[in-house]
């Protein structure tokens, strides 16, 4: 990239954003990343409204300087706030944090990129919004818009967060505003109530793409149900997994609408939530099978644990519990139901127990409470503790967790797996075979994204201070990707260092995506390399 052009662009950006809106001296700090990626970042731009975003892109085009938009930059495990390519100026959209257009009757709301899960929860609480926030385990400081555009998911009733998006407004690479046809024709309200709009569905280009900077996103919220009841189940026998998997599918099909998602977790994943990493037991960073078994026995952790929630009226919830007992009973050792009242009871009991037992019971109640809050659509950072299991320094109590800032080493491998017993077993064998070769403990979660498909999240945890461990973890990701490609287990999203896997050259997808990109962004100034491969000008 031409440094003179970059300096000229930065000078122009400073005139429209003010000196405080352009950060160049400490731009490198913005690039802290849990995956260990390091990018050269000339500057960070901080616009406060969409007019400024449009002006930023016009200047970028004039000087041919690449910019990379981020919502809050808290994209833990996928690259944090880093661009795909070196030399991009970061467009930090966290200052665009307005919430508008909330319709308490229809349950739709419009958010800008800087609106976090926590901010939306606070807004709904202040405006009597009896709706659930589309939460994830990433915590209260993460962007609603960013997660939806990455096609993230959760376990609240609208599981697929991009499915909840009804309307998009974006600034195109030349600075013009994109709005959907219904809104252009004067039907802004119905546009926000109906996802598909009118004509070709172009909104999809802004999801896992680089065709524009999304500045407004309208989403449909799930109404808070009369009751939320969590259920936990487990099996001590790993051999029951093949029978458990189709039962999960049967539960979703029998109780669709009231039970929308189920998580399955292996013993190591459960242990990572219950005990600090036992460094003294590890061999080359990996816990041997006998040590995992000893730890599991000591903490009462089964081979497989499952968790889900019933969202329903009291009458329907009672019927759902009976159905869960009938379906899960034959393939599990334990099935329990928990709600807020039961957690409060456990806390009361803990107060009268002797020292160590009281601490353990209170810890269990706190974990259950955190899980229940997420199920109630209230974000917290309970799940974020996982990122600190192998490295990183926990912040002071009361301070938000930030794994990138705090030195954590985390790369997410997140492949799709059919909800079939034999396929899940093949997948588990693949993860357990490959991860230890690279000093990574195979922590496995399988989350249903519908009644046909799991997304599995495998956190590759490592010591980020150790360059060799960081390189090994990135090699592990590539090995898992390559083997998964052979086995049919491919990721639903990619980190910034894996975007090149889409550059398959002759595929019709790559060619079409690149030609569309070249048509709207001929200079490739917006998030170059992000999901859409570059092509030569002669191919346009």
Q: What is the mean pLDDT of residues 270-298?
A: 91
pLDDT of residue 1: 56
Other Cβ atoms within 10 Å of 315 Cβ, number: 10
pLDDT of residue 223: 96
pLDDT of residue 360: 66
Q: What is the mean pLDDT of residues 186-215?
A: 96
Q: How confident is the model at residue 174 (pLDDT cuts 50, 70, 90)?
A: very high
Q: Give the CATH number of domain 3-92.
A: 3.30.43.10
Q: Does residue 116 or residue 373 have the better pLDDT? A: 116
Torsion of CA 283, 284, 286, 289, to 10 degrees: -40
Q: Which residues, in sequence order, are CB contacts of 244 under 8 Å at separation 6+?
A: 235, 264, 304, 306, 331, 332, 421
Q: How confident is the model at residue 170 (pLDDT cuts 50, 70, 90)?
A: very high
Q: Does residue 339 or residue 313 have the better pLDDT? A: 313
Q: pTM for the complete prediction?
A: 0.94
Q: Is the pLDDT of residue 112 over 70?
A: yes
Q: Does residue 349 or residue 379 have the better pLDDT? A: 379
Torsion of CA 320, 308, 417, 385, to 10 degrees: 180
Reduce the secondary structure of 410-455 to three states and give it as a string: EEEECEEEECCHHHHHHHHHHHHHHHHHHCCCCCCEEEECCCCEEE
Using only the alpha carbons of the chain, give its radius of gyration.
24
Model pLDDT for residues 52-109, shown as the tens digit of each residue: 999 999 999 999 999 999 999 999 999 999 999 999 999 999 999 999 999 999 999 9
Instruction: With beta carbons less than 8 A apart as the criterion, state whether 378 and 447 touch.
Output: no
Q: Does residue 455 or residue 273 have the better pLDDT? A: 455
* Side-chain-facing half-sphere of 234: CA atoms under 13 Å: 16
Q: Pick the range with the lowest mean pLDDT from 122-131, 306-315, 456-465, 495-504.
A: 495-504
State the fold for domain 227-338+381-487.
Vanillyl-alcohol Oxidase; Chain A, domain 3 (3.40.462)
Q: Is the pLDDT of residue 537 over 60?
A: no
Q: Is the pLDDT of residue 540 over 50?
A: no
Model pLDDT for residues 352-379, shown as the tens digit of each residue: 777 777 666 666 667 777 788 899 999 9
Q: How confident is the model at residue 447 (pLDDT cuts 50, 70, 90)?
A: very high
Mean of the per-residue pLDDT values of the chain: 93
Percent of the chain with pLDDT over 90: 81
Tokens found for residue 120: 């939306």
CA angle at 353 for the pair 350 and 355, rounded to the nearest 5°: 100
pLDDT of residue 348: 77
pLDDT of residue 535: 65
State the fold for domain 101-223.
3.30.465
pLDDT of residue 342: 83
Residues in the chain, how many? 540
Percent of the chain with pLDDT over 70: 97
Q: What is the mean pLDDT of residues 395-402?
A: 90
Q: How confident is the model at residue 232 (pLDDT cuts 50, 70, 90)?
A: very high
Q: Does residue 1 or residue 244 have the better pLDDT? A: 244
Instruction: With beta carbons less than 8 A apart as the criterion, state whether 106 and 148 touch.
Output: no
pLDDT of residue 335: 96
Model pLDDT for residues 487-513, shown as the tens digit of each residue: 999 999 999 999 988 877 678 888 899
Domain boundaries, given as residue ranges, for the chain: 3-92, 101-223, 227-338+381-487, 499-539
Q: Pick the range with the lowest mean pLDDT from 93-97, 272-276, 353-357, 516-520.
A: 353-357
Q: Is the pLDDT of residue 533 over 60?
A: yes
Model pLDDT for residues 5-43, shown as the tens digit of each residue: 999 999 999 999 998 999 987 777 888 999 999 999 999
Residue 418's nearest CA partner among 489, 333, 338, 466 is 489
Residue 139's nearest CA partner among 157, 124, 121 is 121
pLDDT of residue 415: 98
Tokens found for residue 139: 């915590």
């Amino acid at each position: 990239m031409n440094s003179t052009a970059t300096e000229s662009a930065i000078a122009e950006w400073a005139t429209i954003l003010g000196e405080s809106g352009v950060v160049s001296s400490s731009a490198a700090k913005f690039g802290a990343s849990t995956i260990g990626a390091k990018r050269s970042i000339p500057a960070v731009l901080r616009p406060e409204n969409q007019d400024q975003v449009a002006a930023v892109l016009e200047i970028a085009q004039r000087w041919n300087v690449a910019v990379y938009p981020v919502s809050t930059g808290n994209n833990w495990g996928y690259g944090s706030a880093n661009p795909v390519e070196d030399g991009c100026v970061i467009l930090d959209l966290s200052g665009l944090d307005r919430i508008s257009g909330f319709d308490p009757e229809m349950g739709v709301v419009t958010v800008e990129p800087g609106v976090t899960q926590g901010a939306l929860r606070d807004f709904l609480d202040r405006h009597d919004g009896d709706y659930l926030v589309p939460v994830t385990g990433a915590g209260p400081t993460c962007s609603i818009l960013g997660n939806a555009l990455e096609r993230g998911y959760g376990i609240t009733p609208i599981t697929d967060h991009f499915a909840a998006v009804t309307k998009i407004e974006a600034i195109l690479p030349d600075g013009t505003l994109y709005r959907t046809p219904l809104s252009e024709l004067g039907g802004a309200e119905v546009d926000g109530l109906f996802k598909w709009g009118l004509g070709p569905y172009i909104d999809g280009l802004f999801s896992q793409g680089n065709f524009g900077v999304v500045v407004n996103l309208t989403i449909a919220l799930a109404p808070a149900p009369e009751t939320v009841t969590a259920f936990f189940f487990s099996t001590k026998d790993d051999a029951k997994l093949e029978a458990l998997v189709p039962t999960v599918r049967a539960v979703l099909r029998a109780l669709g609408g009231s039970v929308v998602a189920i998580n399955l977790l292996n013993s190591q994943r459960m242990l990572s939530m219950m005990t600090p990493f036992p460094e003294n037991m590890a061999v080359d960073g990996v816990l041997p099978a006998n040590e995992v078994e000893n730890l599991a026995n000591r903490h009462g952790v089964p081979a497989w644990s499952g968790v889900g929630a019933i969202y329903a009226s009291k009458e329907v919830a009672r019927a759902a519990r009976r159905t869960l007992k009938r379906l899960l009973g034959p393939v599990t050792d334990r099935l329990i139901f928990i709600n807020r009242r039961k957690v409060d009871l456990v806390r009361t009991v803990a107060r009268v127990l002797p020292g160590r037992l009281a601490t353990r019971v209170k810890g269990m109640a706190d974990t259950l409470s955190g899980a229940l809050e997420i199920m109630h659509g209230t974000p917290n950072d309970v799940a974020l503790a996982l990122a600190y299991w192998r490295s990183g320094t926990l912040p002071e109590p009361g301070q938000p967790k930030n794994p990138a800032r705090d030195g954590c080493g985390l790369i997410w491998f997140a492949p799709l797996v059919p909800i079939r017993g034999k396929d899940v077993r093949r997948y588990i064998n693949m993860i357990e075979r490959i991860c230890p070769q690279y000093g990574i403990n195979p922590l496995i979660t399988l989350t249903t994204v519908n009644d046909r498909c799991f997304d599995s999240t495998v956190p590759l945890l490592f010591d980020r201070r150790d360059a060799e461990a960081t390189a090994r973890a990135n090699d592990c990701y590539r090995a898992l990707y390559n083997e998964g490609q052979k086995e049919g287990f491919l990721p639903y999203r990619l980190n910034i260092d894996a975007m090149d896997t889409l550059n398959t050259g002759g595929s019709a997808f790559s060619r079409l995506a690149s030609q569309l990109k070249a048509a709207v962004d001929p200079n490739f100034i917006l998030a170059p390399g992000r999901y859409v491969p570059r092509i030569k000008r002669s191919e346009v």
